[in-house]
Structure 1
Amino acid sequence: MNYTLRQLRVFLAVAAHGSFSRAADAVGLTQPAVSRGVAELEDVLGVRLLDRTTREVVLTEAGQALVPALERLLEQLDDTLEETRQLGERYRGRVVIASAPTISARLMPLYVAECARRFPEIRLTVRDNVQAGGLEQIHAGAVDFGVLVDPQAREALTIEPLATDPFCFVCRRDHPLAQQATVPWRALDGVPLALLDFASGSRPLIDRILARHGVVPQVVQELGHSASVFGMVEAGIGASVLPSLSLPLPEASPLVWRPLVPREERSIVMVCREDRSLSPAAAAVWDMVRTLPLPQEPGAA
């Protein structure tokens, strides 16, 4: 049978009010629209539901039998839809965020703790991966969204800025540049450097910044994680350029960091697929991440 929910509700309104005009006022339709809706329902059912006279509208035997059953069914439908709406408002379920290693170390603990406080029925899971892997997971729909370095290719992605993160110089205390309060980018020309590799979202930015300042670096090691870079620097293999979110330095290490001047930074963004809507729970976490205050930048030591 090809009937509509509107036709059913219009019929119940006429039955309740005993008048097409009063039913029209109740449901916010014109009287002709109400009359047409009832007539269409009668055509579908193949039975008259209402007897119409110039002075009143009376339910037929079939109409009298239909009203209570229809009221129960529509009430159940309304209850089911309301339960579904409330389920969305309760923000329950699992939300998965892709995150680059330095972001995972400094920012994700804040987000996971705040999510547990605000939304105890949401289980927030972090997928800690390099930039390229995080973007791949977003495109594949394996995560709800990501917090990553601003990607070079933005096609099919929704991007929202979150924070900026300046780059800094990391070296041993006995390095000649460690004696300076700040380190100019141009001072890195020819300096042996252990850098993040190209799977990192920061490496392409670092290379472009070095080139812009006329620096030809001597790259001695390329590594996937800042912790590995710290080890190389501590061993005296080279200094490094790292994002500030890589800090703090390992405790009791012989390393120091210095601000690089002029200030150059990377953009931290929230990323999701443009063609996929976030679930109510994921949307709640997205808004939480967007508005949560971030830790202050550390002071040089």
Structure 2
Amino acid sequence: MLDKRYETLLVLVQTKSYTQTAQRLFITQPAVSQQIKSLEMELNVKLVRYQRPRLTITPAGQELAAFVQRIQVQANKVVTALQHPQVTRQVIFSTTLSLSEFLAPQLIQAIQATQQFRDIQCRVTNTQAALTAIDRGTSDFALIEGNFDKTRYDYQVVREEPFVAVVAANHPLAQQAQVSWADLTAYPLLLRELGSGSREILTNLAQAANVTLAEFSQTVTINNLAAIRQLLLQGAGVSFVYRSVVASELAVGKLVTLRLPAGQLLHELAVVYARDSFFAADYQRWTQALRQPGN
């Protein structure tokens, strides 16, 4: 469906070789070079720099190739849906670890309720990987809590979720009516890995208070929320999580939230997808289902 020059660019970005691109597309190497030069002239944008023997894709070339890949994947899905409207479809989405605990299961149920999809795939990852999957077309959309470029993607906000400091009920900080960042840094900090939305939010929150994570007496990095909950219950430190992640433990009094001077931080949870997606109506409908009372 796409101009063959764009398809050639996409393969060239993947192979970074005129020879391998020609072999994969069953055309000559001069034909590959000619198509790329023609595209550059038409767009008036430099896509490739070649200084023998090194071929480099420019940032503009990388961005255009990512866009072509998204369009190609979406076009294939649209054609399949049009050709076989009665055939159940496949949907693949990414979700961050935190949201896999409480929102992703509800989202899967919303998709199941449509009875349109025989194959539903949910991939748990971090925010940056989820956005990259959208860019590459390997994920239809993502359920994330991390920050993202809102000019680059379309999105639907599900809700604002409290992002809270948490300790065990018998932790020394639990007895204080209000805690300062100086109080917090005296104890080990249990936090998520680099690339996770939760860690980025925590880092920004600390910076706003003129605090760095290095000021904590100890940092323990874990990419597993169940392990963080267990360490919290054992009094091993303080952590920052979404309230829903520890709702059960808070309800029975095993964990408590701490009150900071800045008050409660609310952060947006969102369904994010490629701009102008043909399937935007589906994503909007599922987001609306997640907004219903009780979810």
TM-score, normalization by structure 1:
0.59
Mapping 1:179-194, distance limit 5 Å = 179-180=175-176, 187-194=183-190
The alpha-carbon deviation at position 141 of structure 1 amounts to: 0.5
**Alignment check: 8 A CA contact 2:111 2:286 kept:** no
Identity %: 20
Aligned to 1:244: 243
**Equivalent residues of 1:167, 1:259 under 8 A apart:** no
- Worse-superposed segment, 208-217 or 129-138: 208-217
Match of 1:220 in 2: 219
SS in 2 for 1:292: helix
Q: Which residue of the partner structure matches residue 287 of structure 2?
A: 290
Q: Does 1:177 align with 2:176?
A: no
2-side partners of 1:278 and 1:218: how far apart?
50
Residue 107 in 1 paired to residue 103 in 2? yes
Matched, 1:206 2:202: yes
Say whether 1:271 aligns with 2:263: no
User: What SS does structure 1 have at the residue aligned with 2:101?
Assistant: helix
Q: 1:226 to 1:253 in 2, by over 3 A?
A: farther
Check conservation: 1:170, 1:255, Cα contact below 8 A: no
Which position in structure 2 is the counterpart of 1:158? 154
AA paired with 1:133? A
Give matches, 1:85-164, under 5 Å.
88=85, 92-154=88-150, 156-164=152-160
> Contact 2:156–2:270 (CA<8 Å) still a contact in 1?
yes
* 1:111 aligned partner, one-letter code: L
1:220–1:295 distance in 2 versus 1, CA, 3 Å: farther
Distance 2:120 2:94 in 1: 11
For residues 209-265 of structure 1, the C-alpha deviation after alignment (integer angstroms, 9 at most, x for no partner) is 122234443342011122121233234331211122322356999840215440112
Decide whether the 8 Å contact of 2:94 with 2:139 is kept in 1: yes
Task: Provide the C-alpha distance between the structure 2 equivalents of 1:137 and 1:260, rounded to a whole number of angstroms.
Answer: 37
Q: 1:161 to 1:148 in 2, by over 3 A?
A: same
Give the conservation status (yes or no) of the 8 Å contact 1:167–1:260.
no
Aligned pair count reads 211
1:167 to 1:91, Cα distance in 2 relative to 1, 3 A: farther
Match of 1:258 in 2: 257
Please give the root-mean-square deviation of Cα atoms over the aligned residues, in Å. 3.4
Cα separation, 1, equivalents of 2:269 and 2:96: 10
1:116 is paired with a residue whose SS is: helix
Contact 1:186 / 1:213 at 8 angstroms: preserved in 2? no
Name the CA distance, whole Å, in 2 between partners of 1:217 and 1:166.
22
User: 1:47-67 CA deviation, whole Å, 9 max, x = no partner?
Assistant: xxxxxxxxxxxxxxxxxxxxx
The answer to whether the 8 A contact 2:126-2:196 is kept is yes
Cα pair 1:99 1:146 within 8 Å, conserved: yes
Give the aligned residue type for 1:267.
E
Q: Quickly say closer, same or farther: Cα 1:152–1:117, change in 2 above 3 A.
A: closer
What's the secondary structure of 2:247's corresponding residue?
coil
Instruction: Give the direction of change, closer, same or farther, for the CA distance of 1:204–1:150 in structure 2 (3 Å limit).
Output: closer
Secondary structure of the residue that 1:221 maps to in structure 2? strand
**Equivalent residues of 2:127, 2:146 under 8 A apart:** no
Q: 1:260 to 1:286 in 2, by over 3 A?
A: farther
Query: Whose radius of gyration is greater, 1 or 2?
Result: 1
- Counterpart Cα distance in 2 of 1:91 and 1:267: 35
Unaligned regions of 5+ residues in structure 2, if any? 1-80
Q: Which moves more between the two structures, 141-150 or 283-292?
A: 283-292
**Deviation, structure 1 residue 98:** 0.7
8 A contact 1:162–1:270 mirrored in 2: yes
Measured after TM superposition, the shift of residue 94 of structure 1 is: 0.7
